[in-house]
Structure 1
């Protein structure tokens, strides 16, 4: 065993190459089945973590992925996470909210889905606390469960809408706008919960941390954003280095520095990456051309692998732990679909469009995984709760595309129906 461990420890690039190749293969396999590639990448983390551990045993698993290698994978994964959130911030587009009907419908759908899903998630969290997370603070755990079930994964939702040809439909447009609003609400609520659950949870401590957060957002919007734009223009005109190279260096530095600042004020580095992307969203074309592919292929897989390698299935042996999976899944699906459907109908959307939007909003995927990792890192949830909520995120994402295709077969095509309604609203 010592010889085997020495072999793998001496070949860190072997493990990294395995992760990248496995992520691409699983992503391609899921894509062939009509699913999003990111689900395959998430599954790789589970396969390399709990599944490989159960198959090989603890000693062999430690030999293949020794502690030193895991630390390197986790570091690369954290960098990948910050840059991934940076990309999400770059692609945030508020143009969909310019149309009054779309903006009002999206706001209604987002609010309806968040309120009902949060309430049901918090209720299940309250009932499951003593079983799944007795060592975690009750308030933080309960509120976090509500947030976890309220999230909609905007990047995965956009990919599904594109694959189904719904990008120019009312259902697709409202879905994208509502998902963006939902994610903003989710991150704001998560920030508040982290502040409330910090080690200094006194009223003074909470107010101090909230003050730091608000101060950073104000400085970022009205101080850092104009400065970055001025630097971009200056470097493009006066630097001997190609403008694209300087722009990439500036964007990378901004993303990492914002991640560092949010960590200093007691938040997660992922939030800093998101804010940095929002600040520099006018530069998205440069990033897409030079960096996005590398981040998605060369860094993000390490984030999912590190997440999987940290999982501990030992606490999931009792049957009642798995019964909570059904409870979380039911609360997630019912909260999102019913809340968004009713809100869509109240906002004046047709039955068919409201139904399609409700199914789309049940997509959790990538953003949910990130939020769950933040909760785990911040001590808001246990390993058991993390794994169960991870399964819910994967299941609700996998069911989105088949359900939309089924709706298209059993009733009017969502895309055609939605396009007609969009044209009517424009007139």
Structure 2
């Protein structure tokens, strides 16, 4: 049979067309299954008084080898064959880019204004203690890692990454929980949001350092990456933000309207994500930085619906991200040693966050109940943890077993927040009409991504 490249163009297209059509059909079926699962699981989660996105995450894990793969007929492989998975990976990355743009756009440094001694103490303590415990746990468990699958021979990268992953608090999901419980006007709710905002800022900075250390081949390459990152920040702060502000200025004769703004923000997020990927950071950093650089007051004054549309696009694609994550999680392969790792990860994560936050709160004047509630709230990880874990998995600093254990930790620490708040006498109230369940796949919308 002659080589395909030696055939005429028309013949090559005739041979390739059936395979391409088959792949397109398989991708469409896979997406339909993903969105259907996300919708059903999201509605179940809402009925159970959990954020809809937690149901979607559980649904994504269930579509992988941990549940669907256990059924007869190799259903996971049949539904998500190898040739389909790269397309799902691409869609999941697009969803992450739009999600991280929205997180950056919604990130409000006003939460930190006038925060004072208590916020600083609680934030630093509830980051430092989990980081230290995660660092120690990684060094302790490193001999159990599948080191043949890691991209580095050093223990430093896995240890630093696990420390950062333990330190994160999901600011978006925390904001959602506080809004649903009508705590956003309560001093304790404002305090927890301020602490989570500062922690998120510190955690993203630390993750960028870890990525630089893992990706770098020499001290010179670390310095070069730091220089490139500083240049990106300078361009965003010194050129992009003032430029967008000028284009949106009301005193201009012809300020940009909605369609132009929509195109500018989407293109800007994609290009900045591409730039940070090329310099050695992950795409999520570029999308987040561009979102934070956008002049929110000008956008909200001219076209407030545009960021909501971008957010909904991200929320629609995020179930693909959950499924890609679920395909990499294999709870059946944990074994007895894996269960020990899961238990160690859960205890370390919960103890580090709760003790770090509650102890610092008590030392700075909070009552015992306030310190307890603060420790419970700051222990929520949510989707932000999954984003960070996927970065580490792609970098090759954690193996599949540790990745699976950390995903279980992210789910458990978030799902337990509501019941623990009930035990702490924080009454759950029905969400107001303006704050429906956060999920595009569940047929609802919100200005707070989870």
TM-score, normalised to structure 1's length?
A: 0.88
Query: Which among 290, 294, 311 is matched to residue 309 of structure 2?
Result: 290
Segments of structure 2 that go 5 or more residues without pairing to the other structure are: 1-20, 430-450
Cα RMSD, aligned residues only: 2.4
Deviation at 1:106, TM superposition (A): 1.9
Q: 8 Å contact 1:113–1:337 — kept in the other structure?
A: yes
Matched position secondary structure for 1:10 = helix
Deviation at 1:312, TM superposition (A): 4.4
Deviation at 1:206, TM superposition (A): 1.3
Q: Does the alignment pair 1:112 with 2:131?
A: no
Aligned residue runs from structure 1 range 177-216, under 5 A: 177-200=194-217, 202-216=218-232
Aligned residue runs from structure 1 range 184-333, under 5 A: 184-200=201-217, 202-233=218-249, 237-238=253-254, 243-280=257-294, 282=296, 283=299, 285-296=304-315, 298-313=316-331, 315-317=333-335, 319-333=336-350
Q: Does the alignment pair 1:55 with 2:38?
A: no
Tell me whether 140-149 or 202-211 shows the greater mean CA deviation: 202-211
Segments of structure 1 that go 5 or more residues without pairing to the other structure are: 1-5, 416-427
Q: Which residue of 2 aligns with 1:370?
A: 387
Q: Which residue of 1 aligns with 2:439?
A: none
Deviation at 1:381, TM superposition (A): 1.1
Query: Which among 28, 35, 40 is matched to residue 25 of structure 1?
Result: 40
Q: Which residue of 2 aligns with 1:357?
A: 374
Deviation at 1:8, TM superposition (A): 8.0
Q: Which residue of 2 aligns with 1:145?
A: 162
Matched position secondary structure for 2:63 = helix
For the structure 1 residues 250 and 394, does the alpha-carbon distance in structure 2 shift closer, same or farther, using more than 3 Å as the test? same
Deviation at 1:156, TM superposition (A): 0.7
Deviation at 1:288, TM superposition (A): 4.1
TM-score, normalised to structure 2's length?
A: 0.84
Q: 8 Å contact 1:152–1:363 — kept in the other structure?
A: yes
Query: Which among 31, 47, 66 is matched to residue 16 of structure 1?
Result: 31
Distance, in Å, in 2 between the alignment partners of 1:348 and 1:24 is 44
Q: Deviations over 1:94-136 (max 9, x none)?
A: 22223x3x44322221101001111111111111111124233
Q: 8 Å contact 1:171–1:414 — kept in the other structure?
A: no
Bigger fraction of residues in helix: 1
Q: 8 Å contact 1:132–1:321 — kept in the other structure?
A: no
For the structure 1 residues 9 and 254, does the alpha-carbon distance in structure 2 shift closer, same or farther, using more than 3 Å as the test? closer
Distance, in Å, in 2 between the alignment partners of 1:254 and 1:391 is 34
Q: Deviations over 1:212-247 (max 9, x none)?
A: 1122112211222112222344998537xx811111
